[in-house]
Amino acid sequence: MYATTLRCVFCGTDYPLTHRGSCTLCARPGEENALHETLGVQYDLAALKRQLDREELARRPAGLWRYHELLPVVDPTFRIDLGAGGTRLVRLTRIPEAVAGSRLLMKVEGSNPSGSFKDRPIGVAASVALEQGARGLACLTSGNIGSAMAAFAAKAGVSSLVLLLGAAGLADQEASVNVEKYVQISAYGAEVVTPMGNLGQLYALADRIEAELGWSFLHNVQAYQTDGDKTTAFEICEQLGWQAPAAVFVPTGTGTNLFGLWQGFVLFKELGFIDTLPRMYAVQPMGAASLVAAWEAHQAIPSVLERIEPNLAPPISHRVSGYHAYKAMQESGGGAVAVADADMFAAMKDLASYEGIYAEMASAAALAGIRSALALDLLETEEIRQGSIVGILTSHGLKNSLALTQIFPPQTKVEGTLEALHSYLELKKVELQK
Ligand SMILES: [Zn+2]
């Protein structure tokens, strides 16, 4: 066991590994603010250096548990193995930027077992929760966390309860539940309910369920979720030949993934596995961009937005992101960019139609964010051409297809003859290849 403590990145307080919830000195219960997310897992670096080297890691099978010394689960029998991780890092070749000479790379997280990157953080957090004695697993989610948790609970043979909200971090604003995710979570066998009430109320409800029924709410083991996210950074470094990229663009809601990635790069550098660190950029939808507002106004701690404007990326629409992500952005010399619905839609279409990668709109925000950074001159021409700009495509497009039915009209029916097809294509000015 190499994990030692949980440490608050804001005030530096250490907590035992069994601590639940946020830093008790920084976060007030029931109040929404950036300091609810500040804890990260610390490791015994000296022991890890003696135990682990790049050659040893390179010999192991791909996936989350390849990095087990760098994860907090002690007893291997508690590692739930769904085959998460080991996703492709794809170089884009056909989008206009690629044709013009930019070398952009995408980490395709939608190919994880439940269709999103959440299989990494939830795989680790669920394993820790069960190792610490949880009787069942529970979460508050707009979908992807719920899908991942229900899948891991199924594999582990434990019950799961999903409190499904319309949009991540929103309980009291009107937003409909994502149907595809509801069906997916239900298929895994989880109990799914949509509770009424504001977030403060729901967190209080979660605490009571946890205390009285012994079920573990995964937001109370947040630090272990970010630990699972580290593995994305580890894989990127290995896939780049033991090098860190120059910049990483992360679609950002709570900020857990961005902070986890940053922790992963830092840990690999501390272990001597890579020489440099990347700049971390948060990408957020316009109208739900607390980190962008905080960065531009040089806030010490990101403020909570009054309300969130409806947009095409509910999974990353939060009133406020975690301070841990804000700190990672700043420490790394990165930043934050906001993207419009039209930018995310164009990025989603381009990834699918040029590159054959169908990503959820909130994921395509990564490419939209890179484009925005290019337009704002945040990236150096040299690093763009060297191919070390990485976007994290967090989830699969099938997660949110129904929401796009208003954008893509219903399919046309034509007579099943070549003549009829020709006239239809003529009408659409599409040439049939001979
Ligand atoms: Zn603290």
Tokens of 352: 């699918």
**pLDDT tens figures, 381-408:** 878 887 689 999 999 999 988 888 888 8
Using alpha carbons only, give the angle 166, 168, 171 rounded to the nearest 5 degrees. 55
Most confident of the following: 95-104, 169-178, 344-353: 344-353
**pLDDT tens figures, 172-195:** 556 678 888 999 999 999 999 988
pLDDT at 168 over 80: no
pLDDT at 250 over 90: yes
Average pLDDT taken over every residue of the chain = 93
**Closest C-alpha among 314, 209, 257, 216 to residue 37:** 257
Centre of ligand 1 from the C-alpha of residue 336, in Å: 23
Centre of ligand 1 from the C-alpha of residue 322, in Å: 12
- pLDDT band, very low/low/confident/very high, at 409 (cuts 50, 70, 90): confident
Tokens of 227: 């630990």
Centre of ligand 1 from the C-alpha of residue 220, in Å: 15
User: What pLDDT is attached to residue 369?
Assistant: 98
Centre of ligand 1 from the C-alpha of residue 88, in Å: 36
Q: What is the mean pLDDT of residues 293-315?
A: 93
Centre of ligand 1 from the C-alpha of residue 140, in Å: 23
**pLDDT tens figures, 368-383:** 999 999 999 999 887 8
How far apart, in whole angstroms, are the C-alpha atoms of residue 20 and residue 18? 6
Centre of ligand 1 from the C-alpha of residue 323, in Å: 10
Predicted TM-score (pTM) of the model is 0.95
SS (H, E, C) the chain: CCEEEEEECCCCCEECCCCCCCCCCCCCCCCCCHHHCCEEEEECHHHHHHHCCHHHHHHCCCCHHHHHHHCCCCCHHHCCCCCCCCCCEEECCCCHHHHCCCCEEEEEHHHCCCCECCHHHHHHHHHHHHHCCCCEEEEEECCHHHHHHHHHHHHHCCEEEEEECCECCECCCCCCCCHHHHHHHHHCCCEEECCCCCHHHHHHHHHHHHHHHCEEEHHHHHHHHHHHHHHHHHHHHHHCCCCCCCEEEEECCCCHHHHHHHHHHHHHHHCCCCCCCCEEEEEEECCCCHHHHHHHCCCCCCCCCCCCCCCCCHHHCCCCCCHHHHHHHHHHCCEEEEECHHHHHHHHHHHHHHHCCCECHHHHHHHHHHHHHHHCCCCCHHHHHCCCEEEEECEEHHHHCHHHCCCCCCCCCCCCCHHHHHHHHHHHCCCCCC
**Beta 335-339 vs 279-285: how paired, if at all?**
parallel
Long-range contacts of 410-416 (CB under 8 A, 24+ apart): none
Of residues 405 and 23, the one with the higher pLDDT is 23
Counted residue by residue, the chain has a size of 434
Q: What is the mean pLDDT of residues 252-265?
A: 97
How far apart, in whole angstroms, are the C-alpha atoms of residue 326 and residue 188? 34
Centre of ligand 1 from the C-alpha of residue 326, in Å: 15
Centre of ligand 1 from the C-alpha of residue 300, in Å: 14
Low-confidence winner among 112-121, 246-255, 309-318, 357-366 (lowest mean pLDDT)? 309-318
Q: What is the mean pLDDT of residues 100-113?
A: 95
Centre of ligand 1 from the C-alpha of residue 406, in Å: 45
**Beta 104-108 vs 136-141: how paired, if at all?**
unpaired
Of residues 340 and 318, the one with the higher pLDDT is 340
Centre of ligand 1 from the C-alpha of residue 25, in Å: 5
User: What pLDDT is attached to residue 167?
Assistant: 64
- pLDDT band, very low/low/confident/very high, at 433 (cuts 50, 70, 90): low
